[in-house]
Structure 1
């Protein structure tokens, strides 16, 4: 089983510039909702005292995400994967503009680790990208990407552009590679 330090360490050895200050394991624990979501999304609150959990977007991805994020204008960052489903990180677009914006350490760390894990082969990457491209991409995201406020993570069907439930492979990556506790709760369909 790997962890955040291992993934970051592997890319650090290749690029020589990656460092990490990982969030504590307790802050990464996930507490799913009691019922199985029909349109599962992963909710990552900025407040470290609040658990990461699976939530139901009630079949309407953007409206449901807006409800949890608490804004109307949503930005998204996409981690493209191998296959037809990518992973979208949705967050408050306007929140990043305020001086008092709260950094979402867990979602920021997760997106950085996903990009690094694509380079190491621990998370599926698009087949058309060379290892050097993946390394460069991971380093650029580590240096420049910061997510603020509550983040909702869902899937996106690359063929149709439609939102889909959070990819199963992301949930598996969280539980296996990052030791996030999802074992007692619902799983999602897709991915």
Structure 2
């Protein structure tokens, strides 16, 4: 985590405030943008999903709009698959877990598993690239799908997966700030990727 995220290298630092190295975030964003751009410009099928809808939904939605405008196909998953006391929905091209009238924060892998199962059951092709976070991204990578995504400094799973060669790019960032604060990040990624503004 220290190497990939910039968290404390002190093994006795087990709670309290930690850090994300901005240079590591930007370096990972460059790799993320390059991968997203190459996939979009090849017209590939891209699946977007988030377990942090209060912060990251607008980020994924902007990338989905821009990728589609560049010729990619945003993978549509038939909605309504039950999970917990709710269901899987797709909002602005981004898969989310809905329950009791709200969009749920989750690190569960199950929503992605159910979504991929739904694609297979409908005879639809799997995505060429998954752009996601947390358990959505982790399950996709574990299922062998090319995956790039976001995680915070207290979410080691994606960084371990990246180190093991499963997740292609794990971007370390604060994953739950006010959505408007991600606008510079969105603009940076899209410009680097050669994609149209969202």
Relative to the length of structure 2, the TM-score reads 0.31
Q: If each structure's helix is expressed as a fraction of its own residues, which one has the higher value?
A: 2
Relative to the length of structure 1, the TM-score reads 0.31
Bigger RCO (CA 8 Å, 6+ sep): 1
